Chains A and B, each alone.
Chain A
């Protein structure tokens, strides 16, 4: 069911009265599109379609922001392991033994 926007939603998005929906009727399709867009795998057309959609769909806009944040979180918070100092030398040594 479409819910009409409140004033703050209107302010945030600068949308015209009445064109914001909070529940998405095609949320499964949108969430697949969202993945493609954020993974850089969407075609130009799919991208346009998605961004046009989130102009007016609060549900999918929230989903987009959340997914974007999770990707950022993974990139920034997962600690990088340091390669053991002797690994490269040990590999090279083993290779020299086989040549």
Chain B
């Protein structure tokens, strides 16, 4: 699609930025914080994302999903510019991880003994720790799906992966999370 360089007037740009982009700052900051684990890094990442969004505002179609568009920029900024500087450990090779879990078939047999009543006693810290302990690619899909409510299709666009990969990565992520929660349940005395 040819890009019209002057698609929006200055006023329109400001309106889009104010009404369509800024309302998502809360979600953006929370996502940034959960992938960087650092308030300053999260702040920088969100700021960088919004500056890029403004710079490339001509490629945003009004009325389309601004939140997914912004999350995609944030995720790309994180991978391209940010990861190098941040404390986050080196990138996990998606393919390796997925092949491993596919071949091992982590699925529900191993985790089926975690019980609903054990979850009732879990506090926020345990749940946060369990989520935070997952490799970033697994953590990310759970955040996008469960906390931010993105659909598989939106997640595929944000992460630049096929929907089938979204589905399988999410499935692995949930099983890994269940394993962690089971660990806490056992440490609390549930069997």
Contacts and interface: CB of A to CB of B under 8 A. Distances in A.
Partners in one complex: yes
Interface of A: 27-28, 31-32, 35-36, 39-41, 59, 62-63, 65-67, 69-71, 73-75, 77-81, 83-84, 87-88, 90-91, 94-95, 98-99
B47 A75 contact: no
Interface in B109-163: 109, 112, 114-116, 119, 122-124, 127-128, 131, 142, 145-147, 151-152
B146 A71 contact: yes
If over half of A's interface residues share one DSSP class (helix, strand or loop), that class is named, otherwise mixed; here it is helix
A31 B116 CA distance: 17
A35 B127 contact: no
B26 A83 contact: yes
Contact of A66 (B105, B115, B124): B115
B29 interface: yes
B147 A75 contact: yes
Contacts of B30: 80-81
Contact of A27 (B42, B51, B109): B109
The residue in A32, A36, A74 that gathers the most chain B C-beta atoms within 10 A of its C-beta is A74
A32 to B, nearest CB: 7
B25 A83 contact: yes
Contact of A31 (B25, B47, B107): B107
Given A94-B47, A95-B54, 9 more contacts: A28-B107, A63-B112, A66-B119, A69-B119, A70-B178, A80-B30, A81-B33, A87-B43, A95-B51
Given A31-B108, A59-B112, A70 B152 contact: no
Interface string B159-178: 00000000100110010011
A88 B146 CA distance: 26
Given A77-B127, A81-B30, A83-B26, A91 B47 contact: yes
